[in-house]
Amino acid sequence: MDTATTPAGRGRIGPLTVVGALWSPATWRALTHLVTGGAIGLVAFGALFTLFIAGIAGAPSIIVPLVAGSVILTLNNALTVLQRSRHRAYLHLDLPEGGLPLRFSINPRKLLEQFGDRKTWSRLAYHSIGSVAGPIAATIAVTAWVVGLSLLAAPLFPIDGPTEWNPFAFSAIGIVVLLAAPWTTRGLAAIDGLMATRMLGTSRSDELERRITHLAASRDSTVDAADAERRRIERDLHDGAQQRITALAINLGIARSTLTDLPEEGRRALAGAHEEALQAMEELRDLVRGLHPAVLEDRGLDAALSAVAARSPVPVRVKVDVPGSRPPRDVETVAYFMVSEALTNVARHSGATKATVDVSQRGSVLHLVIADDGNGGADPGGGTGLRGLADRVRSVDGTFHLHSPEGGPTTIEAELPCAS
């Protein structure tokens, strides 16, 4: 904010300041501000008053108040944009830039929605007050200048009349008025500016909302980038190292089967190398699956989940009911890793003899339930990967519930919104 717009640069008022204010740019900007405000106020007063009266008078017809209400809303937005730019230009206030929707609609629901918004009313209040106070303030400011100058110039235009006043006394009063004029002007402008900041500016909740949207977007793009990177690494490993190590294992296997006349030492080494290669193959496959399983990418959740369940040492029963098109990729990924991690926990910690996985889509929500008949007592803070699960679910704005009393059974539920 320009310091010159605060009413009378407090505490530092010397003679120079007082006189200097007469030709200070801030004074002239404030005057222009008030004059334009007055002009806008007059137009706004006419329009708002007419619309208001029309709306009241036409109330029985229903359509007239709807149209009037809608025009008021449109006008309200247009005036807000105009006033904000006026405050930015002349008072250098930090008000939001950019347009507000000027769509004209007489849909009662939309009207109600807008009229239900506090911001609509606070802006309308500014324009209503401004439509009366604006012209008044402009008049006061302009009058101060005109009267001051006229009185100052009194000795030049002697008036015949019964006055006994000395024309130079007029001049003296003129000087006082003129010296006061800049401060009146700037004071009035500052009051207007204060009102605009309160009533046309963004509220704290707006600001928070904007930041949340921004943060959510940047989180999504981080998650997406991480996912894309995992997919890329998976592809690279699959096309490169995995193929090569499989070929290596095959060749070692062939050598092991054919070179049977090697000395014992050599045969043992060959057998060892083959087993190592097989082990490496398996480890690499598990690693790749943990990064991003190809079956999930290619065939979707249903196929991927039966593979996960089939690998579980605890017998698992899977039911997937996801009709229609596939859920978004990130939701599928979260659901997959959630089931995968949960079943790992079941096998490691629960002591369960069986488990079930139920996945169903209701509306636009993917519902997951993983249950086992184990000992329960799972603790999300226990570092068993449960906290990781909850984090994954949160990354797609899902909800996560763990029910695991001592003695069991354990149920994990999650709901993942699939809105794309």
Which of positions 396-415 make contact with another protein (CB under 8 A)?
none
With CB under 8 A as the contact rule, the residue among 31, 318, 338, 386 that binds another protein is 318
CB nearer to another protein: pick between 299 and 394: 299
Q: Could you give the dihedral angle defined by the CA atoms of residues 17, 20, 24 and 26, in that order, rounded to the nearest 10 degrees?
A: 30
Residue 376 and residue 406 in contact, taking contact as beta carbons nearer than 8 Å: yes
Phi-psi region of 23 (alpha: psi -120 to 50; beta: other; left: phi over 0): alpha
Q: Is 322 in the site for another protein (CB under 8 A)?
A: no
Q: CA-CA distance, 308 to 339, in Å (whole number)?
A: 8
Shortest gap between Cβ of 395 and another protein (angstroms)? Answer: 25
Which of positions 203-242 make contact with another protein (CB under 8 A)?
238
DSSP 148-182: HHHHHTGGGS---SS----HHHHHHHHHHHHHHHH
With CB under 8 A as the contact rule, the residue among 42, 111, 129, 307 that binds another protein is 307
Angle between the N-to-C axes of helices 108-115 and 63-91, in degrees from 0 to 180, rounded to the nearest 10: 40
Residue 412 and residue 388 in contact, taking contact as beta carbons nearer than 8 Å: no
Q: Kindly determine how many residues on this chain lie close enough to bind another protein according to the rule CB under 8 A.
A: 36
Which of positions 241-270 make contact with another protein (CB under 8 A)?
243-244, 246-247, 249-251, 253-254, 256-258
Span of 18-26, 36-44, 194-202, 312-320 interacting with another protein by CB under 8 A: 312-320
Residues 6+ apart with CB under 8 A from 191: 137
CB nearer to another protein: pick between 61 and 251: 251
Q: Is 320 in the site for another protein (CB under 8 A)?
A: yes
With CB under 8 A as the contact rule, the residue among 319, 326, 394, 401 that binds another protein is 319
Tokens of 375: 């000992």
Span of 57-65, 104-112, 301-309, 358-366 interacting with another protein by CB under 8 A: 301-309
Which amino acid type is present at position 283? E
Span of 5-13, 36-44, 226-234, 290-298 interacting with another protein by CB under 8 A: 290-298
Residues 6+ apart with CB under 8 A from 30: 5, 90, 91, 141, 182, 185, 186, 188, 189, 190
CB nearer to another protein: pick between 164 and 298: 298
Span of 131-139, 146-154, 186-194, 299-307 interacting with another protein by CB under 8 A: 299-307
With CB under 8 A as the contact rule, the residue among 64, 179, 295, 402 that binds another protein is 295
Report how many helices (DSSP H) and strands (DSSP E) the chain contains, helices first.
13, 5
How far, CA to CA in Å, does 353 sit from each of 340, 356, 411?
Answer: 17, 11, 14
Q: Is 311 in the site for another protein (CB under 8 A)?
A: yes
With CB under 8 A as the contact rule, the residue among 181, 277, 335, 338 that binds another protein is 277
Shortest gap between Cβ of 354 and another protein (angstroms)? Answer: 9
Residues in touch with another protein (CB under 8 A) = 238, 243-244, 246-247, 249-251, 253-254, 256-258, 277-278, 281-282, 285, 293-295, 298-299, 302-303, 306-307, 309-311, 315-320
